[in-house]
Structure 1
């Protein structure tokens, strides 16, 4: 039911106990019944009622805007009938005209970050400062002119519980038209301070009972306090914000959890409190009017006012116009049945309350709930943030209800048959013999005449199930386009997606799972007025079927098929069934990759799948091949060896201490397990030798040159071991800091070692004798790069050094910016290419260190530079691959691989040149690009 989602979205931290779960479920059922009764009553009454929220404007917010500050439970946005104010990412506040959306001004307030924003009585109130600063500043400026009205330092109540006293879990600042109420830190028990909105002067102060937990919420004219006291007593109070005197108090039923239990489990409050702008409150499963009346519910008759005090100035009982009895919206939330989804295409719903009957009334918006936030309300108006990039204003329209308002006015028989959007013939390339299993779930208590969901069941267990759901049908194609565009924008900002198949109607992406170790493949299609979602464990199946569903809908609604995207640099792409675990590796005529718990082998030229094998959900790092085997590791679990031709398992070596890195070479597999270096027979997995180190070597990558293996441990010791026997040839201790092992780079007869002791050493590869040692200005945090007669190295203070490879003498130095890239230097044709700052790559003359061109890339560099035939390749955050001219820095091309923005080089963005192609990964795809 819709309201189950509504209740789930009410901020209710710490729902953990069985009693509280039952409490929440009972509230959900009760509110659902209220919603349906409210809709039915309007439909039968034939009177004018709200029938639609119509968008009157939308405006860009220029990126980071709005949201909330979890430190103090305060909003970063506020709205009134005159203005909408939003915090920005550059320590300012954007002010928009609430009637037109026009940007009035950007107000820059101080060097401290904006921590809260409100609007009231023609005033914009702003909180600045960080939680750990000890003191914050509250200030106000005139909404019309931008003139500063007042500034005031504030200190907030410490959220940690004081022994013997209750906890306060509400907002540290509540802004109303009558007063700004602050929960102060300096007093115990809790002290509430009221400030005048226009002058900032303190006008009232009151203390709260010590043995009560407390939460709060504000309307335009009221401050509501909900306390849960010793003895499991619960009470709702309304205060005048200007005097902090109680207008009324109402004793509430005790919650399922007792007061001591709440503290023992760390729960801040057992019942949620939500208040509309005009003062109607939802507290648990009960609703209250601004004058304190408990509103009737479908299972409870109206009750007498009881202990309610008559307010001095009760707000009117309507929140809109034309005789409607509905309050301003209480909630903005998504459709039920999809509570476990982080991204949804079903629209967001605004839910209001009938102040006479307690019935709930919900109407859909033309946005998905995932990126939508209710920024504020006014009579008959609602302001919504669409992610962080746009804001929109809606006005409430009225008409004679038809009973289809929850469905955007769409007749139920307009919903297509989910099983009719695919056929057994469509699924035959996956497996022959799929059978449909239709389902007709109820929507808002009404059963659709056709199946809204269809699970296609395969004939055998080794073929994937395909699920197709019709998630929404809008009143127009334009409305669906707005919902679809908002959702896909949110997906691309936070999730990995298939950039190779994206078009204006279709997006294939990976939804995170609970463990985070795999991605759940899904595809969303928005064509005509319909939004459809496909789910399967196989991304190859989605890649085949989603375009067929798209084309079926386009044909039904007589829309043109999209023109395929032009990606001239793309040779082929292959989707794995989850996030790539490490970069794809190339060996001969094959490419190997791991993702979604499987290892894949693909033809390097065509991308055709040779085989795939399920290994484990926790495969970590890229697979390696050597001889007739492919190896894949599970950190802390096991190493798997698969047949290179068939993928059949050959052997498995288990170890709880297995590190991330291993090396397959010359009939041996070298790996680290805790403080042991182990060599396995490549063909059988039999242990050949082991060498114990002084400390763990789990973070070091084994490297081999000739018949020697080099590896470092966390004690800062570099070990050179005989590959055949494991006998130590030499060990050299270097400096170490915070369990950081040294970087080791073998280069012919020399091994270069860069350590946290600020030294780079050149060691004889045979004896370990030190040829030279040079101390630099800071710890060395990247591997040395030997090239020609020089060795290049970067330090933690962003200095780049060119050292003489024979003597260690400094040739030149260059100061660069902070970088996060795993590989920050590359040399070629008398040039040194370096990431010199976040998102900037520069070139230096290798002889003099003189800087040449410098090119900004628009995102933090994750991998690169990689140089081939005069072209520099770099991958930036989100998996965007850039090709730059090595001589001029001019961009030749760029391609978005669809990787999630937070992913780093371990997730598959490495760049490998082989077979005349450039191989990389991103968005769960393996890509082969034409260089």
Structure 2
């Protein structure tokens, strides 16, 4: 038996210990996400490295030239800032390097290549644009030259071009121009700007283009032939390879046709991999056998190599990504497995745009107005990368977040209908979506979807915060029920005339969305879902904090159309194609009635009827107690610009086109018709002292008997036919302001002119009589005070008003005027001296309204402001949730009645304590 040599046993222990240390180190490296790929590592996550504010266009694109407003490389990120400058950041750290000021023309496009920043300035309709370049490191200007880019207008008899007008690569800049016929491609040197090769495209062929870092791809189609994908040298414009494919109708799942031309879809990654419809190509032109299927996660640990991201989420159009979750996903081509690969980002998809890539990097424009730089990290894949690494059993049961008892206040007998519990081709333990089906057709369906479960509460909060920020910037939402975990809003419909009620909820790592046709149902159910999730993750329930001046709010199922109408103890409103009746004191819904897809406002009430117009063709009369339809009057033919009406107890006066029609208020029977000399589509009938007054587009004012329609008098004001005069009856006088720069006072009985005063510009609003003075506003931005008896000018005051459609309001001894987009001013009614001026911080879109010494205005974003009428000091403000004026309210949308202030916004009707 052999004996071991002395000392070998001890040295073996050392070797074993060292080997164990190495193995532990390797295991630790493989168990964490490394920043560089290894032999057994695969991409597992996109990690945000930094973000910076982006002041340019929120969509990241200039639609005039179909070019990006941001450019990126491994070293530099450049973006359009404001109008006339470009901001340059270090792409690795996000550090601001410089702000480069350009010419006086607006920045229209930005690119980065080979240490050079290329900038397009100018507008399409200016007839001339400029390309210029500066050194990314020093900021020194390299060159500047005038260009004439192809416009978006298609010339008859030529093919359609649907790609960017400028493509910047490391080997050359290619511009698409049309100085003369036909379409021409011109190559420029990136560092010197000198012109190189030029080629003419075939006249009758459709074309699109896209660029990678070192190549230009052209996709064209000539009628009757096959499509061709060509790789072109950007410096010489010579074809390097060409591949053919079937016609667009066969290649693209949903081909878009513009007249007799096709809009061709071509997507190229920064490293040259291309996607055209169903086909994928390598940079050398090889057709890649990539199946058209849902993207997969990283897969097995095989050191797979991915292309730079091709697109974000569902692009290109028509490609079935089968991803319906909330986060944004970046999708690449896996060169080893020949499959699409996707990984989620920690931001939502709806307002996110991919604006640039570099090896292992992606630059994403967020809906919050920031650009984020992401780095692709590597690790050992687990198969859950598409789920942000979350175990599948962590996804809650969508049907378990509500019960039939929860829905019983809406209707008894709701049953859950779970969707197939699969996501990204993997089966979940529980359904991620559940539709609650009502027992009858008149009750609303409620859908609940678990949209995402993040790896941490913080990641979910980030996604939710960006998602809700985008919603509040662009959509109508319910500001009174919003809390840190819940937001109720209206998603735009396909027609754009209304809105679809939705609620998004975030608690812990879970984000849930509820959808229904009934906003009241969502207002009831969403807090229950929120509270169950908060209890599941042991989080505190929020304490409700209603606005202090809110008496009540009542939801409608769509955007409000017109101001709420108060009549007696009821408030009427139109939204989502329905008319609603609410208790004026409590907001309790009395009834709602579906009218049509669109209800024009404002509503009017007289006697026991409330009147509403639909889509400019039919007037509806509804019973104020039950909402039941009493009669309808349809216009045939329907007027091009809709109609206006005036409801009284005995008559309804309808103005449509050049016809004024009198209807019986109780039956809708037509009693008479009066034809004007011009259209009255922009006029609203007014009644005073038993006479109806209407002005028309031919510059005439008519006084009619409401019972018979017979004219008591008609007077031409001398205004041209381009604009109607403005008419205000008051006592025994009718005041008329016309486009002929004159204000007239007419006798209500005879139409005889009492006085006429000429001003320096056309009048922009109806005269406002108040006591012994008549106030008017003219197109030269002046407010005038005229003696009501003689027409003599008492004083004039310049206002610099930007929005002339807003009215004038008098309260006590003050005249309140919106003097610029975001400023309201008060003038002394006796002298015209300005007493105070108050900036609101945003454009004023409604008001002013004055009541008991308080002035109210509403600003862009749906904020109601209450100001002290004597000093302009702000008393209070409240957000109504109407982000961008989505609730189409015309006229005066702030109404005082029953000691409350009624208004609308965000699809809700509000009653405020004034």
Q: Using structure 1 for the length normalisation, give the TM-score.
A: 0.88
Q: Is the 8 A contact 2:256 2:263 kept in 1?
A: no
What's the offset of the Cα at 1:74? 0.9
Q: In the alignment, what sits opposite 1:17?
A: none
Distance 1:664 1:245 in 2: 73
Q: In the alignment, what sits opposite 2:243?
A: 250
Distance 2:572 2:878 in 1: 22
Cα pair distance change 1:604/1:553, threshold 3 Å: same
1:420 aligns with 2:366: no
Q: In the alignment, what sits opposite 2:60?
A: 67
Distance 2:218 2:406 in 1: 59
Q: Is the 8 A contact 2:486 2:504 kept in 1?
A: yes
Cα pair distance change 1:798/1:366, threshold 3 Å: same
Distance 2:393 2:492 in 1: 34
Cα pair distance change 1:159/1:899, threshold 3 Å: closer
Cα pair distance change 1:547/1:263, threshold 3 Å: closer
Cα displacement string for residues 318-372 of structure 1 (whole angstroms, at most 9, x for unaligned residues): xxx995411110011159999999x986111100112355321111111111110
Match of 1:180 among 150, 160, 173: 173
What's the offset of the Cα at 1:78? 1.0
What's the offset of the Cα at 1:538? 0.8
Cα displacement string for residues 292-340 of structure 1 (whole angstroms, at most 9, x for unaligned residues): 222233599xxxxxxxxxxxxxxxxxxxx99541111001115999999
Cα pair distance change 1:297/1:538, threshold 3 Å: closer
Cα pair distance change 1:345/1:492, threshold 3 Å: farther
Q: In the alignment, what sits opposite 2:911?
A: 928
Q: In the alignment, what sits opposite 1:292?
A: 285
1:366 aligns with 2:346: yes
Cα pair distance change 1:573/1:905, threshold 3 Å: same
What's the offset of the Cα at 1:270? 5.1
Cα displacement string for residues 571-613 of structure 1 (whole angstroms, at most 9, x for unaligned residues): 1100011111111011122111111222111111111112222
Cα pair distance change 1:601/1:360, threshold 3 Å: same
1:551 aligns with 2:531: yes
Distance 1:798 1:689 in 2: 41
Q: Is the 8 A contact 2:421 2:429 kept in 1?
A: no
Cα pair distance change 1:600/1:344, threshold 3 Å: farther
2:249 counterpart SS class:
coil
Distance 1:299 1:131 in 2: 38
Cα pair distance change 1:226/1:795, threshold 3 Å: same
Q: Is the 8 A contact 1:909 1:921 kept in 2?
A: no
Q: Is the 8 A contact 1:345 1:483 kept in 2?
A: no
Gaps of 5+ in 2: 1-37, 294-300
1:483 counterpart SS class:
helix
1:655 aligns with 2:648: no
Q: Is the 8 A contact 2:40 2:302 kept in 1?
A: no
Cα displacement string for residues 388-446 of structure 1 (whole angstroms, at most 9, x for unaligned residues): 61111111111122222111112222111111001111112212221111112532222
Q: In the alignment, what sits opposite 1:727?
A: 710
2:410 counterpart SS class:
coil
What's the offset of the Cα at 1:110? 2.2
Gaps of 5+ in 1: 1-44, 301-320
Match of 2:226 among 206, 210, 233: 233
Q: Is the 8 A contact 1:344 1:368 kept in 2?
A: no
1:698 counterpart SS class:
coil
Distance 2:153 2:605 in 1: 54
Q: In the alignment, what sits opposite 1:124?
A: 117
Q: In the alignment, what sits opposite 1:134?
A: 127
1:448 aligns with 2:428: yes
Q: In the alignment, what sits opposite 1:35?
A: none
Q: In the alignment, what sits opposite 2:751?
A: 768
Distance 1:124 1:880 in 2: 42
Q: Is the 8 A contact 2:363 2:374 kept in 1?
A: yes
- Correspondence 1:333-372 to 2 at 5 A: 333-334=313-314, 346-372=326-352
Distance 1:338 1:244 in 2: 31
Q: In the alignment, what sits opposite 1:529?
A: 509
Match of 1:609 among 572, 585, 589: 589
- Correspondence 1:198-277 to 2 at 5 A: 198-256=191-249, 265-266=258-259, 268-269=261-262, 271-277=264-270
1:555 counterpart SS class:
helix
Cα displacement string for residues 54-110 of structure 1 (whole angstroms, at most 9, x for unaligned residues): 111122325745611222221111111222222234332222222222333333312
Q: In the alignment, what sits opposite 1:38?
A: none
What's the offset of the Cα at 1:907? 6.2
Cα pair distance change 1:281/1:584, threshold 3 Å: same
Match of 1:464 among 418, 423, 444: 444
Q: In the alignment, what sits opposite 1:899?
A: 882
Cα pair distance change 1:168/1:536, threshold 3 Å: closer
Q: Is the 8 A contact 2:160 2:263 kept in 1?
A: no
Q: In the alignment, what sits opposite 2:146?
A: 153
Q: In the alignment, what sits opposite 1:863?
A: 846
Match of 2:101 among 98, 108, 112: 108
Match of 1:376 among 356, 364, 367: 356
Q: In the alignment, what sits opposite 1:41?
A: none
1:670 aligns with 2:671: no
1:143 aligns with 2:136: yes
Q: Is the 8 A contact 2:348 2:467 kept in 1?
A: yes
Q: In the alignment, what sits opposite 1:314?
A: none
Cα pair distance change 1:388/1:71, threshold 3 Å: farther
Q: Is the 8 A contact 2:368 2:469 kept in 1?
A: no
Q: Is the 8 A contact 1:287 1:358 kept in 2?
A: no
Q: Tell me which moved more, 763-772 or 900-909.
A: 900-909
Distance 1:550 1:263 in 2: 42
Q: In the alignment, what sits opposite 1:753?
A: 736
Q: In the alignment, what sits opposite 1:23?
A: none
Distance 1:141 1:703 in 2: 64
Match of 1:93 among 81, 86, 96: 86
Q: Tell me which moved more, 367-376 or 659-668.
A: 659-668
Match of 1:49 among 38, 42, 61: 42
1:639 aligns with 2:619: yes
2:459 counterpart SS class:
helix
Q: Is the 8 A contact 1:176 1:218 kept in 2?
A: yes
Cα pair distance change 1:738/1:264, threshold 3 Å: farther
Q: In the alignment, what sits opposite 2:35?
A: none
Distance 1:878 1:500 in 2: 14
Q: In the alignment, what sits opposite 1:399?
A: 379
1:552 counterpart SS class:
helix
Match of 1:799 among 782, 785, 790: 782
1:193 aligns with 2:173: no
Distance 1:867 1:100 in 2: 54
Cα pair distance change 1:187/1:323, threshold 3 Å: farther
What's the offset of the Cα at 1:266? 2.6
Q: CA RMSD in A?
A: 2.8
1:57 counterpart SS class:
strand
1:481 aligns with 2:461: yes
CA radius of gyration, larger in: 2
Cα displacement string for residues 254-277 of structure 1 (whole angstroms, at most 9, x for unaligned residues): 443799xx9995365454211111
2:405 counterpart SS class:
helix
Cα pair distance change 1:158/1:590, threshold 3 Å: closer
Distance 1:678 1:390 in 2: 55
Q: Is the 8 A contact 1:480 1:529 kept in 2?
A: yes
Q: Is the 8 A contact 2:41 2:380 kept in 1?
A: yes
Q: In the alignment, what sits opposite 1:584?
A: 564
Q: Tell me which moved more, 377-386 or 116-125.
A: 116-125
Q: In the alignment, what sits opposite 1:573?
A: 553
Cα displacement string for residues 137-168 of structure 1 (whole angstroms, at most 9, x for unaligned residues): 11112223333222111011344455665343
Distance 1:636 1:77 in 2: 44
1:366 counterpart SS class:
strand
What's the offset of the Cα at 1:174? 0.5
